[in-house]
Structure formats: structure tokens, C-alpha cells
Amino acid sequence: MKKQVTALDKKYLWHPFTQMKEWVEKDPVIVTEGRGSFVKDISGRWYLDGISSLWVSVHGHRKKEIDTAIKDQIDKVSHSTLLGLSHPPSAILAEKLVHIVQGSGDKQKNSALKTQNSKLRRVFYSDDGSTAVEIALKIAFQYWQHIGIKSKRTFLSLTNAYHGDTIGAVSVGGIDLFHDLFSPLLFKAYKAPSPYCYRCELGKTYPACKLLCLDKIEDIMHKHHREIAGMIIEPLVQGAGGMIVSPPGYLKGVRRLCSKYNILMIADEVATGFGRTGRMFAFEHEKAFPDILCLAKGITGGYLPLAATIATEKIYSAFLGAYKDLKTFFHGHTYTGNQLACAAAIANLEVFKKERTLKKLQKKIEALSKGLSEMAGFPNVGDIRQKGFMVGIELVKNKKTKEPYLLEETIGWKVCGRAREKGLMLRPLGNVIVLMPPLSISYDELKTLIKITSESIREVIE
């Protein structure tokens, strides 16, 4: 069976973010089963899933409650359109998402913050993170057109940003390796320096810098706020950029500047949402409530494609009018609000509540942090960045000078390859080894994750 599937794969498949010339020369891992924090290949070998199947698995594979919810929904109907119709799972999920975003389950109720946040309440569904971002950009653009400020036609984002692979998402992206080739297709967008403290673009050192990168954002906003419809940001952690964790106060500063210059703040929580940073959403850490929120990945617990773009009531209201006014948001996808995906997402949120996932996660975060500290002294570990269960271990040729490994040295892939040999599934971002396990991982499994990662780094580099 393995030979047959491998042959079919190499003959017919085109894998994402994969150099296919090299792929056909390798013996691929073919996943056939998952259970808890593990996946099994076609030969029967189990691997610890150290990246949550690309940052999506929340409660692990084969979670009974989510399995059951999907099966029950199949017995009713698997899909019906939201264009001109509705259905229970989409409406119920929308309410749950809005209540969570508003912090209705938070025991520490802050009335002022809840008043500010309560306006974030209109849910537009789509299929994945890229589409959630595309929708956010189009909503922001159309909003300003509707209220008569037609000069606001572009966006502000950060270098090292990744917001997806569709044209609009790439336009506000900032990773040259992924995006440069497509530059002739993209719309104009302003770029501000990334809060990448280890490799500061401004040559400064935190905290002596006094968040100079925020001043650079303000410089751009001051000059171009009449053109900028929105600023899009990955709150606290720039994921695909290398797990870049922003310093304390940065996100709150971005929110303040967006308000000051009348620019919509778009929070791309596709990667950071649903517990990954230790809170349900990353913006909660600094109470930097966005005007538009993009969600995907962990929304269904890693089961099915689903995304949600949530806008404030103020933004939504600008789209209301008579049919002849053409204020409709002319955007949609065939599988928008798919019933199976919504059922999975509802079950996912219920598991969060029932198992007190976020509360239990805090000690695991501490355990992960303690384990990572032992790697900090390795001669080729330049920087370890962690926010909750999102970790980036940056490998360098020279620790003193921060000299990076060359692209062709594929050091990240070599380390992850060694980890795979030891039974741990990882995927690097260049020279950065990424750890993002399911929130449900056990303490023993967490120890295994740290142990194999540590061994792999040592064995490949030393």
C-alpha cells in the first residue's frame, strides 16, 4: 500500500510550499491516522505532532466530542448555502464567537473594556485564513467608501508579516521569500518595521529603544493617514515570519495609534487565536481590541476548513441600505458557513469550556518555558521566542555576531529531519525551529517534545 500511495503522490500531487524536485527524491511520510497528540504513518509508526498539524489541532486528534458533533450533523445535512438562507450551526456559532470575543466568560469583568469591545459582533464566514484576511481588507476599504472618505484606499502592515497567500493577503505581507515574485500583481501598501527585537531593523536594543518601532508607525500614519484604510497586524506573534514576539506595550501602542489617526485596526489572529498564546485571543493580553478580527486554523479544533471575519457594529451599519444603494458587501464563497465545519467549531468551543483548557494550559506553558531555558545555552541557539504555546528557536552560525545560516544550508530542515527520525513531527521556518503542540498535550509528551528537539539540534549542529 505504501509503495502504491507514494507512486501516486509523486506522479499526480503538487504539495504546498514544497520544492517538488527534491520531494520526488524522498521517501514521504504518509499519515493515515491520528490520536491525541500523535499521528501514525502508513507503516504503522507513531509521531508526536509538535506543530499541531500546521497550527490547527487544539484538543488533539480524534477528540470524541468533535467527532460526535460532525457525525450528528452529517445525519441532518452536510452543507447548505448562506447566500439567501441560514442554518442553526452558523447562527449558534456566531453567537458563541461574539460572546467569547466580548469576554462574556471572563470573571474579571471590566465594564469600560466590555463597552469598547461589545461592538465587535458581526460574523462573516469563509474558508481559511487567507480568505478571512481578504474579507477584512475589502470590508475596511468599502466601509470608508460608504461613509464618504474615499481617499482611504490602502493599508499599513509590518515587515516579516504573513497574512496568507491570496493577492490581497500577499499585498499586505512582508516576507520577501514568499512575496517578492508576485510584486507586479499586488496593490500598494505601506510597511512599518517589524518588532523583531533580536534583529532590530532600526539597530536598537529593547528596552532602551523605548519602542522606537512604534514611532516609525506613527511617522507613516502622520504622513499618510488620509490614504490608509486599515492597519493589519498579527497580535503579539508574527507566526510565519519566525515566531517573532513583540515586546510588552507594542500591541497596545498600535491600537492607540490607529485610534488617534482614524485607521481601522485589523487583528489577524488566524495563528494566534484559540488559546495559542495562553489567552483565547492574543489581543486580550494588552486589551488591544481590534475593529476587525480574523479567525481560522484552530476554530474547528483542527478538523475542517472554516474562517470568520468579525467586524464592529459600526462598520456593519455602513453596509445597510436599500437594494438600489448597492451597499451590499459583494463577497462570498460556496462553502461559507459550512454546516459540518460550524458544528465542529461549536463542539471545539464547548470543549474549551468543559475542560477548562485555558486554565490548565498555564502550568504547561511554564513547563515548556522551563524546558526551553536549557537550550538557551547551546552555542548555535541565538534566540528563543515564546508566547504561550507558540515557540521559535532561531539557530545561528555565530552566536556572538548573530550570523545566520545560509538558505542553501537548510539547517532548519536538517534539524526537523533528525527529529522526525526520533518520532517527532516538526516543520521549520528557515533557520527557526517551530514548536506549537496541541493545547491538550500531556506533561510527559511535553517533556518528549523538548527532549527530542534538544537532541536534534545538538546532533545536527554539534
Render pLDDT for 214-223 as a digit per residue (tens, 0 to 9): 999 999 999 9
Q: What is the pLDDT confidence band of residue 355, given thresholds at 50, 70 and 90?
A: very high
Per-residue pLDDT tens over the stretch 81-139: 999 999 999 999 999 999 999 884 444 444 444 444 448 899 999 999 999 999 999 99
Per-residue pLDDT tens over the stretch 406-416: 999 999 999 99
Element housing 451 (H / E): helix 443-461
Examine domains 2-59+356-461 and 71-354 and report if their fold is the same.
no
CA distance 307 to 310: 10
Least confident window among 25-34, 101-110, 238-247? 101-110
Q: Answer for the pair 243, 388: CB distance below 8 angstroms, yes or no.
A: no
Mean pLDDT, range 159-186, rounded to an integer: 94
pTM for the full model? 0.96
Q: Which fold has domain 2-59+356-461?
A: Aspartate Aminotransferase, domain 1 (3.90.1150)
Q: What is the pLDDT of residue 179?
A: 85
- Return all residues near 4 (Cβ < 8 A) that are at least 6 apart: none
- Return the closest-CA partner of residue 462 out of 408, 411, 404: 411
CA distance 309 to 266: 10
For the chain, what are the domain ranges?
Answer: 2-59+356-461, 71-354
Q: Which fold has domain 71-354?
A: Aspartate Aminotransferase; domain 2 (3.40.640)
Instruction: Find where cell 497596545 sits.
Output: 252
